Amino acid sequence: MLTFSIVTVSLNSESTVRACLKSVIGQTYPHIEHIVIDGGSTDSTLDILQEYRHSIAHLTSEPDDGIYSAMNKGICAATGEVVFFLNSDDRFADNEVLDDVARNFSSNTSLEFLYGNIIWDLDGRLVAHKQPEMITRDFLARKTIIHQTIFAKRSLFQKTGLFSEELRIVADYEWILKVFLAMSPVYEYLDRDICVMATSGASWSTSWEPERRLVMRKYYSTFEILRNRALPMLWRRVRGSLRETLRR
């Protein structure tokens, strides 16, 4: 039967990693290997990981060169047919996620990439976000598919290569562009919640637009970047300023 490799990257995650581990253990689908790549935590994260060591197939704790370095270690350690990244401050939306995903992969053996919806945890307030049914070139210029909703065949990484470790924040976005704009994979959208995603990570607290534009230039013309990204963002800022001025 289909086997999942769930890769969790952690660093000083004592306040969240237990919920992450429990959400994996709670899955009703049985064929899971949980891979945890810790960056050398100095809090009680490792103690918590040892509590659940019986449910972790592969555990490494050592300094790394950033989140994508750790994620690449997880891919290299994976033996499952399908790889999924569940960060240490995230958790599955419910216990039947992997059952539903496995059913889709089993019914379409050529499927390489499946994604669903996300729930954002905004300081305890859960906000559901539905992703588009179709992934188009223009959509990827404007936005992206959230990687905590993506299940990818391990063979897909063998075709594309690993995440770029030269990028600090948007290497997952670059990988998605490579997959869809250079390869055209067999993919499906599953209209169900996949993950509850924390909003305290680097992608929420760091300005990543310059790095994103750098990546986009590999795949998009200047006109496409202006039309789909730069001008809409400028318009949103101008509109927000106008609204604030009118309120005053």
pLDDT in tens, 72-92: 999 999 999 999 999 999 999
Indicate left, alpha or beta for 27 from its phi (over 0: left) and psi (-120 to 50: alpha): beta
Predicted pLDDT of residue 161: 96
pTM of the model as a whole: 0.92
Q: How many domains does the chain have?
A: 2
Per-residue burial over 184-201, b = 16 or more CB atoms within 10 Å of its CB, e = otherwise: ebebbbbeebbbbbbeee
Rounded to a whole number of angstroms, the distance between the first and last alpha carbons of the chain is 62
Which helix (H) or strand (E) covers residue 247, if one does? helix 231-247
Kindly give the parts of the chain with pLDDT less than 70: 201-206, 238, 240-248
Q: Find the CATH number of the domain harbouring 181.
A: 3.90.550.10
Average pLDDT, the chain: 94
pLDDT at 208: 86
- Counting residues of the chain whose pLDDT is more than 70, the rounded percentage is 93
Residues 150 and 228 in one domain: no
How far is Cα 111 from Cα 113, in angstroms, rounded to an integer? 6
42-65 residue pLDDT tens: 999 999 999 999 999 999 999 999
Residue 94 lies in a domain: yes
The pair of three-digit structure tokens given for residue 49, joined into one six-digit string:
């990981």
20 inside domain: yes
Residue 73 lies in domain? 4-204
Same domain, 190 and 229: no
